[in-house]
Structure 1
Amino acid sequence: MLQDVCAAKPEGRNWTRETWKAAFMNSLGHQCQFAEGLDGTGPFPVGFRSSGLTVAQMRDLIEVIYEYGSRHGVEWKEAERSGFMGQAA
């Protein structure tokens, strides 16, 4: 899902998957820490680990990504990648 959002570049944002994940997790109230880059280019987020989320928190994260992506014309490829495209419901 994050790769699909990256590829769509919503609102002209050319962010990495990690930056998108941090933004989505932040929108759900998860706290973040920042560290200064080694080359002095500025702070970057650390500590956003989705692997520590509960099932309910992961569900909420997926929902916020879908909602945002749908509002911004993201083409979702995960169904295609997982082999669910073209199967009857």
Structure 2
Amino acid sequence: MSRATLVLTSDVIRARALAWVSKAPPETRIEFKAPKRTIPQNARLWAMLTDIASQLTWHGVRLTADDWKLVFLDALKAELRLVPNIHGTGFVNLGRSSSDLSKAEFGDLMEIIEAFGAEHGVVFHSSALEQEGMRA
């Protein structure tokens, strides 16, 4: 086995994890990570980003939902790390990927987006506002 991931959602899967650990060869690396975002959280995020992208310009530039995601990820991380690109014509932001966020961090990201949207008059559509069970 070169790589495998289990999400501990039941006793059966927990037992499978224990069996794998007991049979793993020496020097096998095992990682434990916080739960990732849920499917409803992901759907809500993209609905919110689409609403913002369709309603706002940023410093005179119309950004895509993907662009806005990077803006908000940067706000969540609150740390700027830039390096020159390989051609010397610009910079690369060494930011964080949303796939690395835990459910709690993902909830924090959506709160930043909601606050920004409220400050800038964004009207979120109902699919973006369905909040039960999507934050944590």
TM-score, normalised via structure 1 length: 0.65
Q: Say which structure, 1 or 2, has more relative contact order (CA 8 Å, 6+ apart).
A: 1
- 1:87 aligns with none
Out of 94, 118, 136, which is 1:70 matched to?
Answer: 118
The unaligned stretches of length 5 or more in structure 1 are 85-89
Distance 2:68 2:91 in 1: 15
Structure with higher Rg: it is: 2
After superposition, give the CA deviation of every residue in 1:24-51 in whole Å (9 maximum; x if it has no partner). Answer: 0001116667785xxx7x5565765322
Out of 31, 56, 75, which is 1:9 matched to?
Answer: 56
Number of aligned residue pairs: give it: 80
- 1:23 aligns with 71
Conserved? CA contact 2:57–2:63, under 8 Å: no
| One-letter amino acid of the counterpart of residue 26, structure 1 | D
The unaligned stretches of length 5 or more in structure 2 are 1-47, 131-136
Distance 2:70 2:128 in 1: 24
Counting only pairs closer than 5 Å after superposition, residues 29-68 of structure 1 correspond to structure 2 as: 29=77, 48-68=96-116
CA 44–75 in structure 1, closer or farther in 2 if over 3 Å, else same = farther
CA RMSD of aligned residues (A): 3.0
Same amino acid, percent of matched pairs: 29
What is the Cα deviation at residue 18 of structure 1?
1.1
TM-score, normalised via structure 2 length: 0.46
What is the Cα deviation at residue 16 of structure 1?
0.8
- Higher strand fraction: Structure 1 or Structure 2? 1
